[in-house]
Amino acid sequence: MTSPKLRLDISMSLDGFVAGPSRTLEQPLGEGGEGLHEWVFRLASWREPHGLSGGDAEAVDNEVVAEGLRATGAVVMGRRMFSGGEGQWADDTNADGWWGDDPPFHVPVFVLTHHARETVIKEGGTSFTFVTEGVEAALEQARAAAGDKGVSLAGGANVVQEYLQAGLLDELQIHLVPVFLGGGVRLFDGLEPIELETMRVIESDAVTHLKYRVVN
Amino acid sequence: MTSPKLRLDISMSLDGFVAGPSRTLEQPLGEGGEGLHEWVFRLASWREPHGLSGGDAEAVDNEVVAEGLRATGAVVMGRRMFSGGEGQWADDTNADGWWGDDPPFHVPVFVLTHHARETVIKEGGTSFTFVTEGVEAALEQARAAAGDKGVSLAGGANVVQEYLQAGLLDELQIHLVPVFLGGGVRLFDGLEPIELETMRVIESDAVTHLKYRVVN
């Protein structure tokens, strides 16, 4: 049995940003950052796991998102992406994450943190397990939980960079949005060169899905 | 009659660079910068205007390049792209450009400069006219020379940024190459937001051609 693949799906502006400037707890995507995700908010395949009805089920984008969800058996994310605060759990207003009682993941999620705590079990199949031993340990736990599916790397950018530079990412799908943020967080900044092979490109009016294999 | 369109074709790395770090007269594309253009060097449609035989005439990339050349009646470029030196013409080793007696343009080229000089007539239909009155004047002269074709903006990045921010660019085709340069010259850096519409996406193994209309 081959090891479950680690995949990244991430929306990026044409000027290379994955979040806008001036991020706060109230505006976690930064100024203009919502514009990176408008293409996905309107899709049935995104709305359904978020407990929302309706949405476009016909767009080519819808199947791209559905495909990614079907292939995901576990998720790895950074601590800041999980709660946005300082990660000193007792003091955080957002210590159980952004997503309420029924988060949209519906699979085990592994959160990288420096502050150990008990696993949080949510509704709908989502759990949050906190991993303090670093990126390799988190990936190992996620792979064990993913079964015959893959592991999705949810971000943020610093965690993605760490996995990329450690040679642990297998596939990278960039959803390239033709907007400009003019500042914020760049996904590809100060990295050692990595080698990619183009797997697939899918175009829609709103976004271009660029799928690459990472040659590790 | 509608005014000839101003178009940009530019190769960009996945991390957003259009030239590598440490550019010199000997290495005008910077470290690793050649890697941005390998996809085009091997094409028949690129080799032919450069006076080179052979090359791949079947690749989808070949028609993308041929289409761009067919649509080009005049070229605008920055002074540094033209000669790489300081632009104090009498002192420059490279004062007549990089391309020898028969440059690959085969149309009138308008070079933005602060130092006036006479037009240089080369073989094969290429001329270099030096424009000291700024980007709008250069575009106006290029449009007059382009006839019923368009004007191609050849770079460099600072000139492209000036045209973009002045609202003068009509179409933008990015040849996105899945390599990382890790540093150098970013095309989209410190720009005021601009609005784009996706016109077309063409994929090959080597590069993804992303064509956008600029909404000015």
User: Cβ contact (<8 Å) for A198 and B191?
Assistant: no
Across-strand partners of A13?
A: A177
User: Cβ contact (<8 Å) for A208 and B198?
Assistant: yes
Which of the residues B64, B203, B207, B216 would you substitute to probe the A interface, choosing the one with the greatest number of A C-beta atoms within 10 Å? B203
| pLDDT tens sequence across A115-157 | 999 999 999 999 999 999 999 999 999 999 999 999 999 988 9
Looking at residue A144, what is its pLDDT?
97
Which residues of chain A have a pLDDT value below 50? Answer: none
Nearest Cα of chain A lies from the Cα of B194 at a distance, in angstroms, of 6
Q: In whole angstroms, give the CA distance from residue B46 to residue B11.
A: 14
Residue B122, classed as helix, strand or coil, is coil
CB-based contact (8 Å) between A54 and chain B? no
Lowest mean pLDDT among A190-194, B121-125, B147-151: A190-194
Between B138 and B205, the higher pLDDT residue: B138
Looking at residue B151, what is its pLDDT?
98
Looking at residue B23, what is its pLDDT?
82
CB-based contact (8 Å) between B180 and chain A? yes
CA distances from A183 to A84, A208, B84 (A): 19, 21, 29
| pLDDT tens sequence across B173-194 | 999 999 999 899 999 988 888 8
Looking at residue A1, what is its pLDDT?
55
**Quick one: average pLDDT of B161-171?**
95
Looking at residue B127, what is its pLDDT?
97
Q: Is the peptide bond before B155 cis (omega within 30 degrees of 0)?
A: no
Q: In whole angstroms, give the CA distance from residue B62 to residue A120.
A: 55
Nearest-Cα residue of chain B relative to residue A213: B178
Nearest-Cα residue of chain B relative to residue A14: B188
User: Cβ contact (<8 Å) for B188 and A32?
Assistant: no
| pLDDT tens sequence across B50-100 | 999 999 999 999 999 999 999 999 999 999 899 887 778 877 778 889 899
CB-based contact (8 Å) between A213 and chain B? no
Contacts A184 to B, Cβ<8 Å: none
The alpha carbon of A155 is separated from its chain's Cα centroid by a whole number of angstroms, namely: 5
Looking at residue B87, what is its pLDDT?
78
Nearest Cα of chain B lies from the Cα of A194 at a distance, in angstroms, of 7
Q: Where are the alpha helices (DSSP H) in chain A?
A: 38-41, 44-47, 60-70, 79-83, 135-146, 157-165
CB atoms within 10 A of CB B170: 18
Looking at residue A112, what is its pLDDT?
97
CB-based contact (8 Å) between A192 and chain B? yes
Q: Which residues contact B178 (CB under 8 A, 6 or more apart)?
A: A196, A197, A198, A212, B14, B207
Q: In whole angstroms, give the CA distance from residue A74 to residue B118.
A: 67
CB-based contact (8 Å) between B10 and chain A? no
Q: In whole angstroms, give the CA distance from residue B136 to residue B128.
A: 17
| pLDDT tens sequence across B2-52 | 789 999 999 999 999 999 888 887 787 888 889 999 999 999 999 999 999
- Band (pLDDT 50/70/90 cuts) for residue B1 is low
Looking at residue B3, what is its pLDDT?
87
Looking at residue A164, what is its pLDDT?
93
Quote the pTM value: 0.88
CB-based contact (8 Å) between A199 and chain B? no
